[in-house]
């Protein structure tokens, strides 16, 4: 049997081999040995087929089968025996951050209502002075009320037409007087003046106005003095 000694490329014969080179040499040796054994077996089968005894019928020979085994050279990266391969798994974690938007600002507080100044009501105007009370008009010659209001009312109702009246008035020192165009007293007019507005005074002057104008024959001062 042939023996072939392998010398790795780049090394001298007899030099010590490394672990990886040694494994590669062993693998190649097994491959070569397998090829040689296969070739010897094929030769033996062929010889038996040829040496069949005379008179025997040779069976059809099966086609020869050649088996070739190829062994890939061991890689330099094969880890040495006893080394445990370590696999590192990297896990990537993705973190998602959700930002909540800030709450909207609160609406401003409503402004307080502005008080509207209320002006004080204007004072009520003072009531007018009361009108003088005018008594009911009495019948002719029956007056009893005292005062200028009663006197003027009676004179207006019962004197002769065309006279003017004064109350209080100047009567030349008398209680009352009836004057018709008298120089220094009543020039150019017909006047009845009442100095003391008693009932007898103004009733007398109303009657005298009729007498002095010629429309009555009654006596002067028919009702007497006050």
Q: Can you give the pLDDT at residue 135?
A: 63
pTM passes above 0.75: no
Q: Can you give the pLDDT at residue 221?
A: 94
pLDDT over threshold 80, residue 74: no
The single residue listed with the structure tokens 């014969």 is 13
Nearest one of 178, 186, 182 to 208, comparing CA atoms: 178
E-strand ranges in the chain read: 164-166, 176-182, 186-194
pLDDT over threshold 90, residue 114: no
Q: Can you give the pLDDT at residue 34?
A: 54
Average pLDDT, integer, range 33-49: 46
DSSP string, 135-202: PPPPPTT-----SHHHHHHHHHHHSPTT-EEESS---TTSSEEEEEEETTTEEEEEEEEESS--HHHH
Average pLDDT, integer, range 15-19: 51
CA 195, 197, 198, 204 torsion: positive or negative? positive
Average pLDDT, integer, range 52-74: 45
Average pLDDT over the chain reads 72
Distances (CA, A) of 161 to 13, 24, 226: 187, 175, 25
> Is residue 137 a contact partner of residue 155, using CB atoms and an 8 Å limit?
no
Distances (CA, A) of 126 to 99, 120, 129, 133, 164: 79, 17, 9, 20, 33
pLDDT over threshold 60, residue 13: no
Q: Can you give the pLDDT at residue 82?
A: 55
pLDDT by residue (tens digit) across 182-205?
Answer: 998 899 999 999 999 999 999 999
Nearest one of 216, 197, 204 to 178, comparing CA atoms: 204
* Cα 210 to Cα 141: distance, rounded to the nearest angstrom: 14
Average pLDDT, integer, range 142-153: 95
């Amino acid at each position: 049997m042939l023996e072939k000694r392998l010398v790795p490329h780049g090394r001298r014969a007899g030099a010590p081999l490394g672990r990886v080179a040694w494994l590669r040499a062993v693998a190649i040796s097994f491959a070569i040995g397998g090829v040689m054994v296969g070739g010897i077996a094929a030769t033996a089968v062929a010889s038996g087929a040829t040496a069949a005894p005379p008179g025997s019928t040779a069976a059809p020979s099966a086609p020869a089968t050649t088996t070739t085994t190829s062994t890939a050279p061991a890689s330099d990266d094969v880890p040495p025996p006893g080394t445990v391969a370590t696999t590192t798994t990297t896990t990537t974690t993705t973190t998602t951050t959700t930002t909540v938007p800030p709450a909207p600002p609160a609406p401003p507080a409503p402004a307080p209502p502005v008080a509207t100044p209320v002006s004080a009501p204007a004072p009520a105007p003072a009531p007018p002075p009361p009108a003088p009370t005018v008594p009911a008009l009495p019948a002719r010659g029956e007056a009893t009320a005292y005062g200028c209001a009663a006197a003027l009312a009676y004179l207006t109702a019962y004197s002769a037409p065309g006279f003017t009246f004064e109350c209080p008035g100047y009567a030349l020192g008398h209680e009352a007087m009836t004057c018709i165009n008298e120089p220094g007293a009543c020039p150019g007019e017909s006047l009845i003046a009442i100095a003391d507005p008693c009932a007898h005074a103004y009733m007398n002057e109303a009657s005298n106005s009729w007498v002095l104008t010629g429309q009555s024959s009654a006596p002067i001062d028919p009702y007497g003095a006050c």
